[in-house]
């Protein structure tokens, strides 16, 4: 089972040899067996890598993320066919029942707000009960937008009344970086499951190629928020990125067992697919942050 998140931060050449990713820089040559790698992040734009290596990484379902000149995630690589039965899965996905999608989305929103309330409680902040009340007020498909109301209360309480998600500040830089890591991880599971990332449950933006992943990642966002709150970044650089990267290997609880967040996301995504295929929301296994 893959478990390592590998980050290439400086000038290097990456190629493939006998099951290993070989990393050559000015000073050293090192090898990492591909079976150990779950996520590969190319942070430096001065990295070169071979097509042979990329093919082997994709075959092993390694998520490959490339960063821009500011070292922020810019794009990723997804396989055309992540599952042997992807044609069947896509046909089913296109025909997913609209009511079933709304039921699943309602459960996802409730869990997101529940996790947001827990984050506030963990840090000894107020308004957690208000968020839980929003869950009680939830309508089918979240017609009254309890998610939006909860988000406003939540972020103001967590980061201060003057905080806005549109600000250019270290907190938002950290949040955006963390969210992009979670999105990429969910993308991997969607593709590996044989589904299309473009066809969402609720998100339906014609310019967003990750609508389904954006739906699925919603309850996981508060885990990033808690990490950033604990970090309280006055800057956003290499050290802060490493803290967020470690979140992927942190242990969470799902189905009454502890798993790294990477593995928990895999279990969670599969449970959502099972739930919508069988039209049974009780099939969903949500990830719990047992702090």
For residue 79, the model assigns a pLDDT of 83
Q: Are 90 and 195 in contact (CB under 8 A)?
A: yes
Q: How far is Cα of residue 56 from the mean position of the Cα atoms in its chain?
A: 23
**In degrees, to the nearest 5, what angle opens at C-alpha 220 toward C-alphas 267 and 195?**
50
Q: Please, are residues 85 and 27 in contact by the beta-carbon 8 Å criterion?
A: no
pLDDT at residue number 291: 47
pLDDT of residue 290: 63
How far apart CA 89 and CA 194 sit, in angstroms, is 6
* pLDDT score of 84: 83
In DSSP terms, which residues pair with 23 in a beta bridge? 14, 30
Q: What is the pLDDT of residue 73?
A: 87
Those residues of the chain that have pLDDT short of 50 are 291
pTM over 0.85: yes
Q: Which residues contact 197 (CB under 8 A, 6 or more apart)?
A: 78, 187, 190, 191, 209, 210, 211, 212, 213
């Amino acid at each position: 089972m893959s478990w390592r998140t590998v980050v290439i931060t400086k000038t290097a050449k990456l190629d493939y040899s006998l099951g290993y990713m070989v990393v050559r820089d000015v000073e050293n040559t090192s090898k990492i067996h591909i079976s150990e790698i779950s996520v590969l992040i190319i942070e430096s734009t001065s990295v070169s890598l071979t097509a042979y290596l990329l093919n082997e990484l994709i075959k092993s379902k390694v998520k490959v993320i490339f960063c821009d000149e500011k070292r922020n995630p810019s794009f990723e690589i997804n396989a055309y066919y992540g599952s042997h039965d992807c044609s069947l899965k896509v046909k089913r996905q296109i025909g997913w029942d609209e009511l079933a999608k709304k039921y699943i989305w309602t459960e996802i929103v409730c869990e997101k707000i529940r996790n947001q309330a827990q984050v506030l409680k963990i840090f000894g902040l107020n308004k957690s009960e208000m968020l839980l009340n929003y869950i009680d007020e939830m309508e089918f498909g979240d017609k009254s937008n309890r998610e939006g109301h909860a988000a406003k209360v939540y972020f103001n309480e967590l980061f201060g009344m003057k905080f806005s998600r549109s600000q250019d500040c270290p907190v938002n830089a950290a949040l955006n970086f963390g969210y992009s890591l979670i999105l990429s991880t969910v993308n991997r599971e969607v593709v590996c499951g044989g589904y299309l990332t473009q066809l969402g449950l609720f998100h339906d933006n014609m310019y967003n190629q990750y609508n389904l992943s954006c739906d699925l990642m919603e309850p996981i966002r508060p885990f990033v928020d808690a990490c950033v709150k604990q970090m309280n970044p006055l800057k956003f650089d290499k050290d802060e990125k490493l803290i967020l990267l470690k979140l992927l290997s942190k242990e969470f609880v799902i189905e009454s067992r502890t798993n790294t967040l990477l593995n928990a996301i895999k279990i969670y995504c599969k449970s959502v697919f099972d739930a919508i295929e069988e039209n049974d929301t009780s099939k969903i296994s949500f990830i719990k942050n047992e702090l």
